[in-house]
A = this chain, B = another copy of it.
């Protein structure tokens, strides 16, 4: 599947065009964000590159994530207390389903948000520019684990 590589290349071109450099650390972070569907946190990104770059600081990861966010190449999913998760695979607003057990985040199929957004705009008078739709619950694995414990 060429899509993932295309996405990575696109971001790399965009960085080059704007005069940013491609350090090995930046490239590693970039690959994770552009190619994984895991919606990783900064700590998770840091853990994933630890084998190759053991001294990479949280600050470096934060700075790179912020840069990509400001370029519109990464979507931040902030939560009240827990740390933010990042989506560089699909950086445009879309629904997320979040497991309260294991913390995994998946993308369900759902296409009707644009229509709903227009409806809300009409009802409230707001000019709506973005949205956020999250569902919280237990994934099937965590449901099973819970059943095991209850036995």
Contact = CB atoms under 8 A, between A and B. Distances in A.
Interface of A: 76-81, 84, 95, 97, 99-100, 106, 108-110, 116-117, 119-121, 123-140, 143
A60 to B, nearest CB: 20
A108 B123 contact: yes
Q: How many copies does the complex hold?
A: 2
B132 A120 contact: no
Given A120-B135, A129-B138, A130-B136, 17 more contacts: A78-B78, A97-B120, A97-B126, A97-B128, A106-B124, A108-B123, A109-B123, A110-B119, A121-B137, A124-B139, A126-B135, A126-B137, A126-B138, A126-B139, A127-B138, A128-B137, A133-B134
